[in-house]
Structure formats: C-alpha cells, structure tokens
Amino acid sequence: MEAALKTYFGYTGFRPYQREIIQKIMEGRDGLVVMATGSGKSMCYQIPPLVAKKTAVVVSPLLSLMQDQVMSLQQRGVKSDYLGSTQMNSSVASEAEKGLYDVLYMTPEKAISLPSRFWSNLQASGICLLAIDEAHCISEWGHDFRPEYKQLHSLRDHLVGVPFVALTATATKRVRGDIATSLNLSSPHIAIGSFDRPNLFYGVKSMQRSMSFISELVKDVSDTCTVGGSTIIYCTTIRDTEQVHEAMIAAGIKANIYHGKMGNKAREESHRSFVRDEVLVMVATIAFGMGIDKPDIRSVIHYGCPKSLESYYQESGRCGRDGLPSVCWLYYQRGDFGKADFYCSEATNATQRNAIIDSFMAAQKYCLLGTCRRKSLLQYFGEECATDCGNCDNCKSTKTERDLSKESFLLLSCIKSCGGRWGLNMPVDVLRGSRVKKLVEKNYDKLPMHARGKDYPPNWWKALGGLLIAHGYLKETANDGYRLVSVSPKGAKFLSDGGTPLFLQPTAEMIELEDHGSSQHKEGDVNPLTTVGSEKISEEEQKLYQMLLNIRTKLARDIGTAPYAICGDQTLRHFAKIRPSTGARLANIDGVNQHFISRYSGIFVQSITQLSKELNLPLDDSSGVEEMVSVSKPANSNLPVKLGGTRFTSWDLWQNQKYSFKKIAHFRRAVPIKEQTVISYILDAARDGCEMNWNRFCEETGLTPEVASQIRLAIAKVGSRDKLKPVKDELPENVTYDMIKAFFTIDDLGMSEKAFGNIPTDGARRAESPNPCSHESEAVENGGKGDSVIVAGVCDSSPTTKRSHTDVAPAPADEPVKKLQKTDNGSQGDSVIIAGACDSSPSKKRSHTDVTPAPADEPVKKLQKTEEQGTGSTSGAVATEEAILELAESRGGVSLEDAVKHFSGSKRESVVALLESLQCNFAVYEKHGRFLVL
Ligand SMILES: [Zn+2]
C-alpha cells in the first residue's frame, strides 16, 4: 500500500483513517466513509485497484467531477477513464470490461443501464470494489437527492462478492442510515472523520451591498490572485453574481461566472478554465462546485448569508483541500436575514418550512456570533471542542468584553413587554421610538421603554439581539414560517435579578455602527487573505515559488491538463524551499510521484538550478523541510500536529546511525531543535515498538541504576506518576525530566530489569504475572464479524502524537482525529470510534491495568507491527488504557480487531472492557447519534 502511495501519489504516509479503510476494502468488506472534504476520501478507492491490480468502479454524480478526477489520475500514471453521456471514445466501454483500467468512473445513470454482460465480463477480468461517491445523493433527506442513486443496489446482483463502499462529506444520522439500507451494505466498516478543517480560517463581516463594498472585495481578491491563489465568490442571487463579476472584470481581474441560468456548455467551459487556472476567480451561485476536485483554492467568499450552515460548511470547505492555509469569509447584510421566505419556496408543508427556517436561523446565528466560529460550527455538527481555535476572526481579534447590562436590560424587557410574539423588528422599533401603525395599535408606544433606545441605530439593537440569542438570553423559534424572539429562562433570571452586570463582547458590526453610524466594511482589520501562502518562506524563495507556479501553469497548458494535476502547491513550495539539484533529491520530496519523476523532474531540476542561481539561492537546502510542515497548519492551532516522520528519523539516526542527541538536534536544520525534544522523539519511537539499545540510551541520558532507584522511590512517595512535576520535585536537582521520562518509558515497556538490573518495585506499576498470550486465534476469528472500533487520540499542541514507524511522512495538519462515534446504521456492523483527549504527558490514567499483565521481561520489539506480522506474534503486548490510547494515536485510529490483535497478551473481553472504561474516563457522551469525547 505504501509503495503504491509513493509511486502514484508521491506521499510517504497515509492520512488518518485512510489505511484502515483501504485495508477493510482489500479484505472485501463493505464500507461507509463520512469524511470532510479535503481529508483524502478518494484515495480510499484509488489505492486498492493499484495494489490488487484489479479495476475499481466509481459511481459519481457529476461528469465534470469525473473528468477532473480522470485528468488527475492520468497525470499520476494511473489508468483511468469514465463512462457517461459526454464520453466520445466508444472504445472505453469495451476496454473497461476487459479490465484495462485501474479506476473507471461512471454516472449512476450509466451504471444502472449497462448490460449485465458488461458486469460479468468485468468481474471475470477483475473488479476489486464499487465506490459510490457523494453517497448522500441516495437519500431524499440529503440536499442533493438523485433518484438514479436509489437503484444502485441492483448492481449487487451482478457483482457478487465485490465490496461496495459509500463515501460522502456530509451525512446526518438519517442520511447514513438511508445510504446503508439503500445499498444493502452488509455489516459495513464505518469510518467517520472529524468535520474540523484546521487549515481554514473562518471570518464574518457585515456589509452593505454597494459599489464601495464591492470595490474593497475586488481589492482583497486581487491580493489573493497576486500570490497565485484561486478564489470562489458565492452569491445568493444571480443578480449579485453578475454585479460582482462585472466589478472583477472592470478591475482587470480574470474572473469567470457560473449560475443556473447559463447553458450547459457555457457552464462547463467556465468550470474547465477555472480548474485549469486560466482564471483565478469564480463568481457563482451555489449551483457551482459540487464535488469540485481542485485542491488549491485559497479563498471562498460568501457574498450574502448562506441558506444553512450545512451548505455553508460544504461550500466554504471547497478551499484549502491541499491542507495549506486558506480563508473563508462570509459577508452578510442584515437584510439577508429577512430572506427565509425566499428559501421557503421549496417547502411543500409547514414542517418543511420550519425546518428551512431553522437551518437559516442557524446560519444567521453563526454570522452574529461573538465567540469562536469553528467551535460553533463543529458544535452544530455534533462535535465538541474544548478550546477556542485561534484561527477565526473572533479568536484573532482583540475585541474585549464590556458592560452591556443597561442595553441588554432594555432590549430584554422590551421583548418581554411585547409578549414574545414578534421577531426583533417590533421591539427595536419600540426602543427607537417609532410610531408605526401596528405599534400604536398594540399600545406599545405607551410602554416605559418606548423611545429609550435612540442612542443606537436599529441595526445595533438587532446585532445586540443576535448576541443575546447566541448567549442564550433570548431564544428564537420558527412558527408557521415566522421567526419569533422571546426571553429565555436565563434572560428572565437576568431581568428579575436586576442590576447583575452583564459583560459581553460586542460584535464587529456593533463596534462599526458605534464608530461610524453605518456598517461599512472597514479596512485594516484581520485580513488573512493577504498573508496566505507567504509565511515561513523568504522573499527570494517566494519569487522562486512564483516562477515555479508559472512553469507548472505553462506545462499544464501545453499538455492540456490542470496545473494541480501535475503537482500540488505544497510540493512546489517544498521545491522553492529545498531547491533540489538532482532528480533523485527531487524524488524525495513529498508529493512527487513516479509519473512526475519520469515526465517532469528534468524540467523542474533545470529550472530550479537556473532560477536559484539568478536569485542567488543555494541548492539542496534541506533545513527547510520541517518548517514547511508547520506552514500547513494554522497559527495557534490547538489540534494535534503529527510529525511521525521526525520521530522516526530521530530514532533511526540515534539507533542505527549512532548519532548523538546533539547531532540529531542539528541534523538538516537551520535552527536546531532541543535535545530534550530529540529524546522524547526517540522515547516515542520506542513506545511505538522501535528497537532500542537501552544501555546506550541510559548512558547518554545519565540514567544510572542509582538514579532509577531514586526515581522509583520518588514515585512511591508521591503515590502516583500521573504527573512528572511532583516526581521531579522529590528528586535531586541533577535528575532531569529526560531521565524521568526515559525511566517511565523503560518501566512501561517492561525493560527495567534489563536496563537497571533487579531493583525493587515499590510504587510504580509493574506487570507481574506471567501471561499465556495465546489469543491470536481468537482475534483472527473475530476479525470479520463486523464490529469495529476506531480509537483516536487528541493531544494538546505539544507534539507527543505517535505514529507507526511505517509512516515516514509528516501527515497533513488538517486531519483531526477527535471522536468517539457510534454508528447508527441498522445492520449488525456496529462501529465505535473513540478518541481520547490526553495531555502532553504519556503517563496518564494508570489505574486500569489489564487483568492479565505481561511478564516484566517481555520483549517489546514489535509492539507496533501487528498489521504486518498478523498472527505470527508471540510477544503478547498487554492492553492498558494508556497503551490503547497510544496505539490509537499512533495510527490515527484503530479497529477493535486490530486492537485485539495488537494486545495479544490480553483477552478480547479485556480490550473491550478497557475501551468501555475509556468511554467513562473521557467523558464520552452521545450527541446526534455519535459518541463524543471531551
Ligand atoms: Zn476560533
């Protein structure tokens, strides 16, 4: 698998979930994959055919999407084509049934209309899977229902024994159930990834639709264009689309337009030239973009409030699929909020109307939020995150809370006096002292608060209303298509307490209205658009990068493909940073595949050599590689940073190359890392099962048997080793944290005796009783039953996440793995995905030692290798909470079978029991049908 990944895609490591999913497909099991856009879903069905040397058939809803994917695959040397109404080459079908393609795409219409002879021939030639992409189209509850999808189950009759895999980026519990039922999935392996996209910045601004605002928008977009980034601007109406598009053209920006009133041909051409970077800006209605495969869109702007958070998440999610920092701005005008009726036209009954209004209100609430946008977005999708993201406008802005007690009191009591039977307009009119007919008829002009709110404009009051809704002092409900705002119990308490101060962070709109009396867009505040792609790369390197972008564009035009299909932006940034002087060095860079090497490495090496000379940059600067990794994650992200490659490299240099810690700290780095970091990397690798020369390690860290026994005594004194510091405090100054950490690792791995000789074991946990470790057969028997548990760990920002040493590449940072989910599909294949939040210390929660601990001198050299070694193991690793969490972290999730296999020293029941206890310890709870972990 890894070989295919590098050969065809140029990557050395899988992203979270991918390996697991591919493995299951290869085992012939059905699957349901729900993963965010950009998390590498398509890789899950593109790798198996390359490994199995059989065809993968992929059903996809859109011809344009299929064509894009085929183009990308062909550029990678993967044999691929598609069947659909626009396919002009009549030989594709006959070649397909001979099994000549690795990946064959087709529309659902085509799939259900092909004769059974086609399928039987293909099956005879070899078919390894049938993937159903954008599988939410199966469900009438999904937002893109396609009736033909409902008939796909009939293919099961033709394709007996072929695994069916459904993939989607958005699926609620109900839609997931529909997918599994409709396709007759048989105990599918279910993988549900996080909805978080850490490389995306989220921001919202209020605006007035005006030429002056549009001209500022044009300026922002042109800044993104100058750094070579593509932008999509979504407008809510065709009129807006045309107006914004005209403004872009007038400003000399190459921009395309796309909306439902254009003819098919014009739309296709617009899509095509955008995907190929012939234009960098697409101004479109939401008709554009389903399944768009372009990974390097740097910015998605919504010009107008979207109709729901689901659609906002999906549309904004089209940027930054390559993991590089990208921005999502939403510009709303308060008037947008009155447009619920516009969307309600789709509704046929009151329930549907209310559902549409509910969704729209959620989008509105998102606009008005004064707190972390990501947190609220994820909460909406049933994911909890403990901390603010640090990568949204609210997290980045320096706005501070202030006392809004008086104003809040006025608004709340006014809403209460109006009986909670209105939206915000009526109470705000009352505060502003209006005497409109309806108001006077209701005698609201006699209310004591009438005309008491003239200090602020109406929109300020409405923004405050939004803020009070967001903070739970007001509640908004949909009733017969109307939105009503009333005082919540929390608000009522505030009113009755009278005088309790209420500190809130005013929204940007409120501040603007106070400053200017109007809500014009302001310059000079948070605008990451201008900084996209410019971090951690010198000016000269930036120039080189731009030149390489141009070379790639020219190359793509010459051969009639999209630039991103040749290689990704990230790869070009690596070129600019490292400047490889030979094809071999270039081949080592992540993202460079076999096809690229054979076709383009000559051109790029030559250009890099020449341009670097002109720019006076040295060649083969490998110090930049690790810094480049950090470019792909947002600043201040609290999400795990996976640097598995660094760990493995450090361990390899130490263990095999016999480098010192110091030398490793400086190895290929412009700025050395700390030796302590190197030591923890190596210890992590040891925990992952890498072989260690402990004697040498102890010698180099100064961990003598005497120090070890001091540490042991200190642990006994403290009574626990959950935290390093109390233990350290009990010890003489010369005993370092490194020594303590090393001791813990050695102790956990049961290597103490080997490393320090036979010393007493007082306080620390030790594995004592012998263990029969003969449960492999049990694990294997259980392998195909359909239960599957994925456990994934989330750590705070300190990079303690461990990875298998087979994954040598740094994983993209946009792959959060926080989750505990239980699937809801009806079949017997229940799956649980767990994630633990752990602190940076690996020594957490030691109490749940397994009932059958391993012998203390158990060799541990293959802790990590269960997947490869299969049933041959006799090592008998023992399951503990910590070990399970570590295993999960290292793999970005692990199935129950794999956990059982891995911990062959423990009984299956023990592993299950431990997983269950983790659920308790990690505050697991169910929301929207998924078990989540805090
Ligand atoms: Zn945030």
What is the 198 CA–ligand 1 centroid distance (Å)?
10
What is the 60 CA–ligand 1 centroid distance (Å)?
34
Place of tokens 């309600």: 344
What is the 370 CA–ligand 1 centroid distance (Å)?
10
What is the CATH code for 875-933?
Answer: 1.10.10
**Rounded distance between C-alpha atoms, residue 234 and residue 302, angstroms:** 5
**Rounded distance between C-alpha atoms, residue 646 and residue 649, angstroms:** 5
What is the 233 CA–ligand 1 centroid distance (Å)?
22
Are 570 and 545 a contacting pair, CB within 8 Å? no
Q: Tell which wins on pLDDT, 802 or 372.
A: 372
Bridge partners, residue 485, by sequence: 476
pLDDT of residue 94: 93
Look up residue 276 and give its amino acid.
R
Count of residues making up the chain? 934
The answer, yes or no, to whether residue 161 has pLDDT greater than 70, is yes
What is the 343 CA–ligand 1 centroid distance (Å)?
29
Structure tokens at 304: 């107008």
Q: Which of 108-112, 203-207, 778-782, 922-926 has the highest mean pLDDT?
A: 108-112
What is the 297 CA–ligand 1 centroid distance (Å)?
21
The DSSP symbol for 854 reads P
The DSSP bridge pattern shows strands 788-795 and 831-838 to be: parallel
What is the 202 CA–ligand 1 centroid distance (Å)?
8
Instruction: Report pLDDT digits (tens) over 674-696.
Output: 788 888 888 877 776 677 888 88
What is the 322 CA–ligand 1 centroid distance (Å)?
21
With a CB cutoff of 8 Å and minimum separation 6, the contacts of 786 are: 29, 187, 188, 189, 827, 828, 829, 830
**Rounded distance between C-alpha atoms, residue 579 and residue 576, angstroms:** 5
What is the 428 CA–ligand 1 centroid distance (Å)?
30
What is the 497 CA–ligand 1 centroid distance (Å)?
32
Reported as type and span, the H/E element at residue 649 is helix 644-655
What is the 787 CA–ligand 1 centroid distance (Å)?
36
What is the 290 CA–ligand 1 centroid distance (Å)?
26
Look up residue 621 and give its amino acid.
D
The DSSP symbol for 346 reads T
Burial 750-764 (b: 16+ CB within 10 A, else e): bbbeebbeeeebebb
Are 108 and 61 a contacting pair, CB within 8 Å? yes
Superfamily of domain 540-597: HRDC domain (1.10.150.80)
Architecture of domain 402-504: Orthogonal Bundle (1.10)
Sign for the CA dihedral angle at 282, 284, 287, 290 comes to: positive
What is the 391 CA–ligand 1 centroid distance (Å)?
5
Give the mean model confidence (pLDDT) for residues 625-654. Answer: 47
**Longest CA–CA separation in the chain, Å:** 92
What is the 387 CA–ligand 1 centroid distance (Å)?
9
What is the 574 CA–ligand 1 centroid distance (Å)?
29
Superfamily of domain 200-396: P-loop containing nucleotide triphosphate hydrolases (3.40.50.300)
What is the 811 CA–ligand 1 centroid distance (Å)?
23
What is the 203 CA–ligand 1 centroid distance (Å)?
9
Cα 626 to its chain centre, rounded Å, is 21
The 10 Å Cβ neighbour count of residue 286 is 19
The answer, yes or no, to whether residue 60 has pLDDT greater than 60, is yes
Instruction: Report pLDDT digits (tens) over 739-765.
Output: 988 888 888 777 777 777 765 444 333
What are the backbone angles phi and psi of residue 822, rounded to the nearest 5°? -115, 135
Query: What separation in angstroms does the CA of 797 have from each of 385, 640, 671?
Result: 14, 6, 20
**Rounded distance between C-alpha atoms, residue 474 and residue 479, angstroms:** 16
Sign for the CA dihedral angle at 500, 504, 509, 511 comes to: positive
pLDDT of residue 782: 37
pLDDT of residue 624: 53
pLDDT of residue 876: 65
Give the mean model confidence (pLDDT) for residues 769-797. Answer: 36
The answer, yes or no, to whether residue 794 has pLDDT greater than 60, is no
Give the mean model confidence (pLDDT) for residues 101-124. Answer: 95
- Residue among 656, 699, 650, 653 at smallest CA distance from 679: 650
Are 32 and 24 a contacting pair, CB within 8 Å? no
The DSSP symbol for 811 reads P
Which residue pairs, CB below 8 angstroms and at least 24 apart, start in 579-583? 579/544, 579/608, 579/612, 579/617, 579/618, 579/619, 579/620, 579/621, 580/605, 580/608, 580/619, 580/620, 581/605, 581/608, 581/609, 581/619, 581/620
Structure tokens at 84: 């659909």
Three-state SS string over 527-539 comes to: CHHHHCCCCCCCH
What is the 546 CA–ligand 1 centroid distance (Å)?
31
Q: Tell which wins on pLDDT, 864 or 185.
A: 185
What is the 368 CA–ligand 1 centroid distance (Å)?
14
The answer, yes or no, to whether residue 872 has pLDDT greater than 60, is no
The 10 Å Cβ neighbour count of residue 646 is 21
Architecture of domain 2-192: 3-Layer(aba) Sandwich (3.40)
What is the 140 CA–ligand 1 centroid distance (Å)?
33
First to last CA, the chain: 33
pLDDT of residue 143: 58
What is the 643 CA–ligand 1 centroid distance (Å)?
24
Radius of gyration of the chain (CA): 29
- Residue among 365, 261, 219, 371 at smallest CA distance from 305: 365
Place of tokens 């809801």: 824
What is the 102 CA–ligand 1 centroid distance (Å)?
42
Place of tokens 């084509």: 81
Cα pseudo-dihedral 190, 195, 198, 200, rounded to 10: 130
% of residues, the chain, pLDDT over 90: 26
What is the 768 CA–ligand 1 centroid distance (Å)?
47
Mapping DSSP to helix (H, G, I), strand (E, B) and coil, where does residue 604 land? helix
What is the 837 CA–ligand 1 centroid distance (Å)?
19
Give the mean model confidence (pLDDT) for residues 813-842. Answer: 37
Bridge partners, residue 475, by sequence: 486
Structure tokens at 33: 């994959």
What is the 367 CA–ligand 1 centroid distance (Å)?
13
What is the 171 CA–ligand 1 centroid distance (Å)?
24
Instruction: Report pLDDT digits (tens) over 269-303.
Output: 999 899 989 999 999 998 888 767 788 999 999 99
Place of tokens 């390996």: 19
What is the 533 CA–ligand 1 centroid distance (Å)?
20
What is the 515 CA–ligand 1 centroid distance (Å)?
25
CA angle 66, 67, 72 (to 5 degrees): 95
Reported as type and span, the H/E element at residue 201 is strand 200-206
Determine if the pTM surpasses 0.85.
Answer: no
pLDDT of residue 120: 94
Instruction: Report pLDDT digits (tens) over 406-455.
Output: 899 999 999 999 888 888 889 999 999 888 888 888 889 888 888 888 88
**Rounded distance between C-alpha atoms, residue 846 and residue 752, angstroms:** 18
| Averaged confidence pLDDT in the chain | 77
